[in-house]
Amino acid sequence: MADQRYVTRPTLLLRLRDREDQHSWTEFVEIYGPLIHRFALSRGVPHHDAADITQDVLRNVSRAMQRFEYNPKKGSFRSWLFTAVRREIGGAAEKQRRKPGTAGPDDADAYLRQLPDEQDTFDWHGDYQRRLVSWAMAKIKAEFAENTWGAFLALGLEGKSAQEASEALGITVGSAYVAKCRVLKRLTEMIRSVDDEEWEVDLIRSEGRG
């Protein structure tokens, strides 16, 4: 049975306004820490600087959440976070460039100048979506029987036919479809406990056709 804590609670961003809610902050770091770190590395930032950038961004988010008011008409949180990450990468590159003998064509600032903002934005949003879906899948997997999860993977992610999935798992075709729908529903609930925008429904449905 699905864990109703994640269905009924406000989205993660709203929960972060409560400084006493350590569980929500831990959850936030668990989701977004790896996302920020990997993005910085992909932009040419050295590992030690990427770790510092990640901590700086998370610290800034913590401060900002105290006055956070969610208004989707003013833009998405992931866009705000993307701006914060790029700003920290640029700041780290500026500090690096000021050190004698360390500036060069491979530093992060040079990379950011070469990369079109459109591509940078596209990469960030894609990374964001994949990270959130991956996190949500890991969280809900234990809630389902092995065959149910297997049907979801086969039909929703691996592109197998219902007949192939049912034969491999030893269940009926109808049961395979029901299993996939159950997991997709729960996956959407979990994602919306963090981000209640509409992108995740389209993404999951596009991956879950079959």
Sorted by where each begins, the domain ranges of the chain are: 11-115, 142-210
- Print burial letters for 43-66: b (CB count within 10 Å at least 16), e (below 16): bbbeeebbbbbbebbbeebeeebe
pLDDT confidence bin for 68, thresholds 50/70/90:
low
| Whole-number pLDDT of residue 2 | 40
Residue 122 to residue 56: CA distance in whole angstroms: 23
Q: Rounded mean pLDDT of 26-46?
A: 91
Cβ proximity of 176 and 162 under 8 Å: yes
Amino acid at the residue 159: G
Q: Is the pLDDT of residue 203 over 90?
A: no
Mean pLDDT for all residues in the chain? 79
Residue of higher predicted confidence among 195 and 131:
131
Residue range 11-115 in CATH 3.40.1800: no
Percent share of the chain, pLDDT over 70:
74
At a CB cut-off of 8 Å and minimum separation 6, what does 15 contact? 9, 21, 24
| Whole-number pLDDT of residue 105 | 43
Query: Global pTM?
Result: 0.74
pLDDT confidence bin for 6, thresholds 50/70/90:
very low
CA-closest candidate to residue 58, choices 110, 16, 114, 116: 16
| Whole-number pLDDT of residue 112 | 52
pLDDT confidence bin for 168, thresholds 50/70/90:
very high
pLDDT confidence bin for 208, thresholds 50/70/90:
very low
Q: Rounded mean pLDDT of 66-79?
A: 68
Residue of higher predicted confidence among 93 and 199:
93
Q: What is the CA radius of gyration of the chain?
A: 20
pLDDT confidence bin for 125, thresholds 50/70/90:
confident
Residue 121 to residue 176: CA distance in whole angstroms: 37
Q: Is the pLDDT of residue 29 over 60?
A: yes
Q: Coil, strand, or helix at residue 98?
A: helix
Q: Rounded mean pLDDT of 178-197?
A: 88
